[in-house]
Structure 1
Amino acid sequence: MKKFDIRNIKVRKVDIGQLDDRLLLINLYLTQLITFIIGFLWVILQGRNVINLFRLPETPEFLYWGAALAAIIVLFDIAISRWVPEQAMDDGGVNEKMFRKRPLWHIVLICLVVSVCEELLFRGAIQHAIGAYWTSILFAAIHVRYLKHWIPTGMVFGISYSLGWVQDHTGTIWAPIAAHFVFDLIMGLIIRFRKETDR
């Protein structure tokens, strides 16, 4: 039996056009699972209770904050896309490939999974440790597909910081989860139902 050697693992950059839909979804769900596990363990290592972190507030006020923040982000994103050249907002085609031909139920599922997993790690664990500002820098840095262009990188930082602020303001992780979910869902639906001539 051949011995496994981690040095033999080769990592190469793959163009989004080289990924078929199955591989794209495997990559998405695997990275979200890893994100969730790291966030879950980090919260526990901080001596906090994950169940308490996800306890729903008694009033629905967090939903209003989440929906309002999502609406502001969507309007800002749409306004920016009207004045900024398309190549300056290029994400390498990831969002287009992810949402363009996806069934509605699957877009909802993707947005739900991403919002819960990423907010657990970034707002639930990392922000608790280092604050909203540094968490937002880290959040922008992991969205590597945007790093070639300063406008989307700045937008990701601003979105992350506003998610951190809304969590601090409402005192619950459900507010940034709601905002993240609604924003991703609206943007995914815009991509999904945009006319072919608009592309």
Structure 2
Amino acid sequence: MKQSEVIQQLTNKDLKKSLVLSQVLFLLLALVLSLFLFESFFDWFSYFHWKPKEILLYGVASGMIVVFIDIILIHVFPSRYYDDGGINKRIFSSLSFYEIVYVTLIIAIAEELLFRGVIQTTFGYFIASTIFAIVHFRYLKKPILLVSIILVSFFIGYLFELTENLVVTITSHFFIDFLLGLFIRYNGWREE
């Protein structure tokens, strides 16, 4: 059965539950791995720094630039190049503004704690960014989406290398997902 057929069988509520559950699993994995990989369970907390200028410049501004580029590409390439099997469209089209905030915040926190806070600090930039891209496997058969997620993955990993600040990467990740979620929700998705 194709992914798009499976998606059609799920309700919007089921899709949202699956997404939130996957992020809870990422968060739990980050916590469990930190027990084994760090001297102290809370070592990754040392990567949380409240530096407003850094957060605005590297988190907010960079996230907005990524979204701006992505929206241009969405309008340049045919919509079939951005079709991930209907998952993003189904999820974000069914969420309210506040649900988009909640869901994208959970995604940003869980994924950045796991991929930057645990994997990148332990195994390095390249491995963390590569695994992050692979986890988004539904993009593997879509070259534009695949290149996009690889570039974003390495970009966010680079932000962490540059700042060593999880607040920056969480902010950037959140703004990317949040703004694209709003774009999908309120502007719809181009149909050919």
If the length of structure 2 is used for normalisation, what is the TM-score? 0.89
Distance 1:187 1:85 in 2: 17
Structure 1, unpaired ranges of 5+ = 1-11
Distance 1:186 1:29 in 2: 18
1:26 to 2:17 alignment: yes
CA contact (8 A) 2:59 2:172 kept: yes
CA contact (8 A) 2:47 2:117 kept: no
1:152 to 2:145 alignment: yes
Structure 2, unpaired ranges of 5+ = none
- In structure 2, the partner of 1:17 is 8
**Mapping of 1:58-97 within 5 angstroms?**
58-97=51-90
The structural deviation recorded for 1:131 is 1.7
- In structure 2, the partner of 1:125 is 118
Distance 2:70 2:103 in 1: 20
Distance 1:87 1:157 in 2: 19
Distance 2:147 2:107 in 1: 20
1:7-66 CA deviation, whole Å, 9 max, x = no partner? Answer: xxxxx9662111102211221111111100111121232224256246333554223211
Distance 1:63 1:45 in 2: 33
Letter in 2 for 1:98: I
If the length of structure 1 is used for normalisation, what is the TM-score? 0.86
1:136-187 CA deviation, whole Å, 9 max, x = no partner? Answer: 2211111121111122111101101111111111121111100010111110
Seen in structure 2, the aligned counterparts of structure 1 residues 59 and 25 have a Cα distance that, compared at 3 Å, is closer
> What percent of counterpart residues are identical?
29
Q: Tell me which of 17, 22, 26 is aligned to 1:35.
A: 26
Distance 1:92 1:26 in 2: 18
The structural deviation recorded for 1:101 is 2.6
The structural deviation recorded for 1:78 is 1.2
Query: Over the residues paired in the alignment, what is the CA RMSD in angstroms?
Result: 2.1
